[in-house]
Structure 1
Amino acid sequence: MTAEVPLDGLGAQSLVELALERIRGDILRGAIGPGERLVEEQLTRRFGISRAPVREALRLLGQQGLVEHLPRRGVRVAELSARDMTELFGLRDALERYAVDTALGGGARPDPEKLAVLERATERIERAAGDDPAHAPIDRAEAHREFHLALVALAGHRHLLRVYEPVIMQLQLYMAANMRREAEQRSPAEGAHRHRHLYEAVASGDAEAVLTALASHGARTYLRPELEP
């Protein structure tokens, strides 16, 4: 891990939030891999803060499903089995379909402001498709998460988004690695095209077209065959 500027001078809650954001960012970017230990002493030195906010940040990450607290073995980044991934993708599909039905059911049109957020996320995916190969997989993974959060946010359903966010975050534990492997087999532009197609279906206001696009979106190409059941 790289050195960080100390966070002294901030309130206790701000220290927890910043530690949470930095650790979670490292996990979701793939800088800390599944199964890797998170040592409180190292994190406190890195951030220049006491153990209490680091411990609370790790507790919150545990609630989000990104880390596991193991008895007498400390904390590590969560490892998901093939069954975990299949269940998470199935849950993601169900929540996204519900969001689409809520946002566009009965002939409703998408909220213009929320649609604009989804369009920006689509454009970010397209930019990432042409990025430097050394950084593009992580950029695409983050853009992918942003897109799907914006898709569910179309429903304007606060509790739905609260349930959905940890699901997509857990899936991103393996997203970057799978995108790197997928890039060896197909052009990143194909993934960008799939998201553009999905965005255009949403923009049309045709709920059935969106559900059809979701069904063929190819999410399960991210499943890692080497994972144990």
Structure 2
Amino acid sequence: MTAEVPLDGLGAQSLVDLALERIRADILRGAIQPGERLVEEQLTRRFGISRAPVREALRLLGQQGLVEHLPRRGVRVAELSAQDMTELFGLRDALERFAVETALVAPPDPARLVVLERAVERIERAALDDHEHAALDRAEAHREFHLALVALAGHRHLLRVYEPIIMQLQLYMAANMRREAEQRSPAEGAHRHRHLFEAVASGDAATVLTALASHGAKTYLAAELES
């Protein structure tokens, strides 16, 4: 892990929030791999803070499903099996269908639609990049898009249930996208998301559900987990 500026002078809750944000960002972008241990002493030295906020941040990450607390063995980044991923994708699909059906009872909220379009544009920009962490950037843009899609429903409790699912899926999303990139251009993934956005903008729930059914999120998942 790279050294960072200490977080001196911040309140206890701010220290927890910042430690949580930094550890979660490292997990979601793939800097810390599934199964890798998270050692409190190393994290406290890295952030320049005491153990208490680090421990609380790790507890919250456990609630989000991103880390596992193992008896007498400490904390590690969660490892998900093929069965775990299948179940999580099934939940994601069900919640997204519910969100669409709820959101499109009336025309979509213009402000939320703008947020969804911005997420599409971020995916399209990421598809043009070819730097070392491009696949990780595309995975983060993908997560942002799907959160914005569910947020269209304006259903706070739905979003609270959905967010940890999409976060856990991102543990393997970047690897899945690298596998896809070996066989397809990243532009194809951007096109799928643009197509889904246009379906949502049409305001027709049946069109959106058809687009969701063919979205192709799991195309390369099984092969990546087996490798």
TM-score of the pair, normalised by structure 2: 0.98
Q: Would the aligned equivalents of 2:175 and 2:224 in 1 still touch at CA under 8 Å?
A: no
Question: Does residue 1:209 correspond to 2:180, yes or no?
Answer: no
Any idea what SS the aligned residue of 2:104 has?
Answer: helix
Give 1:76's aligned residue: 76
Equivalenced residue count is 226
1:167 counterpart SS class: helix
Quote the residue 2:135 is aligned against.
Answer: 137
In the alignment, residue 149 of structure 2 is paired with which amino acid? Answer: L
Match of 2:46 in 1: 46
Query: Is residue 171 of structure 2 the alignment partner of residue 156 of structure 1?
Result: no
Residues 140-149 or 213-222, more deviating: 213-222
Q: Where does structure 1 lack aligned partners over 5 or more consecutive residues?
A: none
CA change 1:165–1:58 in 2 (3 A) is: same
What does residue 113 of structure 1 align with?
A: 111
Match of 1:29 in 2: 29
Aligned 1:121-200 pairs, distance under 5 A: 121-200=119-198
1:78-99 superposed Cα distances (whole Å, 9 cap, x missing partner): 0000000000000000000000
Q: Which residue of 2 aligns with 1:64?
A: 64
Aligned residue identity for 2:21 = E
8 A Cα contact 1:124 1:143, kept in partner: yes
RMSD: 0.9
AA in 2 matched with 1:5: V
Q: Distance in 2 between matches of 1:43 and 1:65?
A: 19
| Alpha-carbon contact 1:175-1:222 (below 8 Å) kept | no
- In 2, distance between residues paired with 1:117 and 1:222? 28
The alignment status of 1:97 with 2:97, answered yes or no, reads yes
Conserved 8 A contact 2:176-2:224? no
Deviation string, structure 1 residues 153-203 (Cα, Å, up to 9, x no partner)? 000000000000000000000011111111001010100000000000000
SS of aligned partner of 1:227? helix
Deviation at 1:8, TM superposition (A): 1.3
Provide the C-alpha distance between the structure 2 equivalents of 1:102 and 1:12, rounded to a whole number of angstroms.
39
Determine the structure 2 residue equivalent to 1:18. 18
Aligned partner letter, 2:11: G
Distance 1:136 1:24 in 2: 18
Q: Are the counterparts in 1 of residues 122 and 141 from structure 2 also a CA contact under 8 Å?
A: yes
- Counterpart amino acid of residue 83 in structure 1: Q
CA–CA separation in structure 2 for the residues paired with 1:133 and 1:29: 14
**Could you say which residue in structure 1 is the equivalent of 2:216?**
218
C-alpha distance in 1, partners of 2:133/2:11?
Answer: 34
What SS is found at the alignment partner of 2:4?
A: coil
In the TM superposition, structure 1's runs of 4+ consecutive aligned residues that sit over 2 Å from their partners are: 224-228
How far 1:132 sits from its partner (Å)?
Answer: 2.1
